[in-house]
Amino acid sequence: MGKANLPQGLLIADAVEFDRFIIRMDAIITNEPDMELRKAVDELVRIARRSAVMGLSAGAGGNISSRCGARVLIKASGCSLYDLCEENVVVLGENGEVLSGGGSPSKEVRFHLGIYRSLPETGGVAHYHAPYCTAFAIKGMPVPLVTINAKRYFSKMPIVPELPDGSPELADAVVEAFQDKEVRLILLAGHGIVSVGHTLTEAHLLAESAEEAARIAFFSRFL
C-alpha cells in the first residue's frame, strides 16, 4: 500500500494511530488467508440477515455455517440471525475446537461438523425453523414440489423423525440423511429444515426455494 499521506483535518495527535491503521490494512491486503476468512465472515453475516428478513427463523432460532479451508465458521449460540455480527461468528478448527469468536458455537454444531466431515464438497450448511416447511414436516408430509424451482432442485426431501435438538442422535440422523447424494435439503419433524450447498449462499437459496414451495402449496389448498 506504501506510505500514506495524512488525511486533511486529521489532528497531529492522531497521526500515530493512523499509521498503525495503515500497517494493519497492509497486513490484511497482503495476507490472502485472512482475506478469505473476511469474505467468509461477511457472507455469514449477510446470509444471516437475509434469512431473518425472509422469515425463515424467529428469535434466536436457526443456525448457519460455512467452511473456509480447514476452518468452520458458525453462528454463536443464543444470537439471533438478524443480529449476527462479526463478534458473534465463532471460528472452529477441524476437530471442533474454538479458534476465535465470541460465545459458544450453536448447539447444533455436531451436525454441521458431521456434514463437513462426511461431505467434503459441502461448503455451507443452513438450518432454519422455516414455518411452512416445518408445518408439513409436523404432519409427516414432504413438501409438495409445486414450483418449477422446487422440481428442479429437489428430487428427494426426506423427513428426519423428531429428536432432541442439539443431541448426538439428531446429529447422526441428519448426517445419515445427507449420505444420499440426491438429497440437498431435509425436513426435521417438529423442528425445521437443513440444507447444504457448495457455498453457504447456495445452501440458503435452496432453503428459500423449499419454503416458497411449501407456502404456495399451503395456500393453493384453499383455492
Question: Is 29 strand, coil or helix?
Answer: helix
Domain membership of residue 7 (yes or no) is no
For residue 151, what pLDDT is reported?
94
Residue % of the chain over a pLDDT of 70 = 85
What mean pLDDT comes out for the span 43-48?
A: 98
pLDDT tens per residue across span 73-114: 999 999 999 999 999 999 999 889 999 988 899 999 999 999
Predicted TM-score (pTM) of the model is 0.83
Q: Is the pLDDT of residue 152 over 60?
A: yes
Q: Domain count for the chain, please give it.
A: 1
CA atoms within 13 A on the CB side of 147: 18
Query: What stretches of 154-199 show up as alpha helix (H) in DSSP?
Result: 168-177
Q: What CATH number is associated with residue 31?
A: 3.40.225.10
User: Could you tell me the residue range of the domain that residue 115 belongs to?
Assistant: 12-220
Domain membership of residue 62 (yes or no) is yes
Euclidean distance between CA atoms 63 and 81, whole angstroms: 7
Which residue did the predictor score with more confidence, 28 or 160? 160
Q: Residue 97 catalytic? A: no
Asked which of 14-18, 42-46, 99-103, 117-121 is least confident by mean pLDDT, the reply is 14-18
pLDDT averaged over every residue in the chain: 89
CA dihedral 192, 106, 206, 193 (to 10 degrees): -10
Domain membership of residue 25 (yes or no) is yes
For residue 94, what pLDDT is reported?
81
Domain membership of residue 148 (yes or no) is yes
44: how many CB neighbours lie within 10 A of its CB?
25
Buried b (16+ CB within 10 A) or exposed e, 145-176: bebeebeebbeebebbeebeeeeeebbebbbe
Domain membership of residue 4 (yes or no) is no
Domain membership of residue 103 (yes or no) is yes
Question: Is 73 strand, coil or helix?
Answer: strand
Place of cell 493512523: 18
73: how many CB neighbours lie within 10 A of its CB?
26
Q: Per the residue annotation, which of 43, 87, 97, 108 is the catalytic one?
A: 108
pLDDT tens per residue across span 180-214: 999 999 999 999 999 999 999 999 999 999 999 99
Domain membership of residue 110 (yes or no) is yes
Q: Residue 35 is inside which H or E element, if any?
A: helix 32-53
Name the band, by pLDDT with cuts 50, 70 and 90, for residue 5: low
Return the amino acid letter for 27: A
User: What phi and psi, each to the nearest 5 degrees, are found at residue 78?
Assistant: 85, -5
Domain membership of residue 2 (yes or no) is no
User: What phi and psi, each to the nearest 5 degrees, are found at residue 11?
Assistant: -65, 145
